[in-house]
Amino acid sequence: MLTKEQIVRAAVEVLDTEGVNGLNIRRLGTHLGSAASAMYYHVKSKEKLVVLAADHVFGEIPMPDPAGAGWREAAASLARGAYAMVVRHYWLIPAMSTHLIYGPNKAHFDEQSLGVYESAGFTEAEADQAAATVLMFVIGAAQGEAAQAAWQAQLRRSGADSDKELREVTAEVFEIAQAFPRLRARIDSDTARPSGDTFEFGLQTLLAGLESRLPPVERRRRNYAHGAEEGVCEPLPSRDH
């Protein structure tokens, strides 16, 4: 008997290949060898199925322990996991622009994120802002790769030659860039950095900025804890001073 979990997993597979526009409940039923009526028994609409699939992929993000790793490494680990997940499931970005994404996996991710920033010493309101800011950075950083994957999925649905289209678009981009000296120099020298390097640079810069907003005593305590691990400690001030 077909289960809701099977339907959601199959929906993720279709979304990964075809994108949101390629998902169709009747087609999904055929893919699973089940009647459309059985699909609608578990999932009332395509929109609800997209929400369920989106929540499902949030469950792929590893959840670090800030007590063991320290808040900055825990925050970085969460961000890296979210970035990798979004890149794997490019359709999530357009889905988030048209659907309210919620569910137990998304809630678990949000809860863990807030806990990481609260463990650093941020107030509840500041932790809310920090978690939202880092997630916005992750989504923005993944946008380029997600857009390219969505474009390729659209080409597949239309039956176009994706390799040929990519060569033509790349040639056009290079031609446009020739009119701009900095872009031309980078193309000529091939100095473009891998997306992973750019993501890590931005992530560490963002986390350093967040850390600078912690109260001075809280930063001293973080440095003291780090120094204790290295065997070098400065006197720790009292919280009353």
- pLDDT tens track for 112-144: 999 999 999 999 999 999 999 999 999 999 998
- pTM confidence score: 0.81
pLDDT at position 48 is 94
Distance CA 84, CA 87 (A): 5
- Note the pLDDT tens digit of each residue in 44-60: 899 999 999 999 999 99
Rounded Cα gap, residues 100 and 92, in angstroms: 11
Contact indicator for 184, 112 with CB cutoff of 8 Å = no
Where are the domains positioned within the chain?
64-214
Task: Quote the pLDDT of residue 240.
Answer: 46
Candidate CATH numbers 3.40.50.620, 3.40.50.10470, 1.10.357.10, 3.40.630.40; the one for domain 64-214: 1.10.357.10
Q: pLDDT tens for the chain, 241 residues: list them.
A: 789 999 999 999 999 988 898 898 888 888 888 887 888 888 989 999 999 999 999 999 999 988 888 999 999 999 999 999 999 999 999 999 999 999 999 999 999 999 999 999 999 999 999 999 999 999 999 998 888 877 777 777 677 676 787 788 888 888 998 889 988 888 877 655 666 689 999 999 999 999 999 987 655 455 545 544 545 444 544 444 4
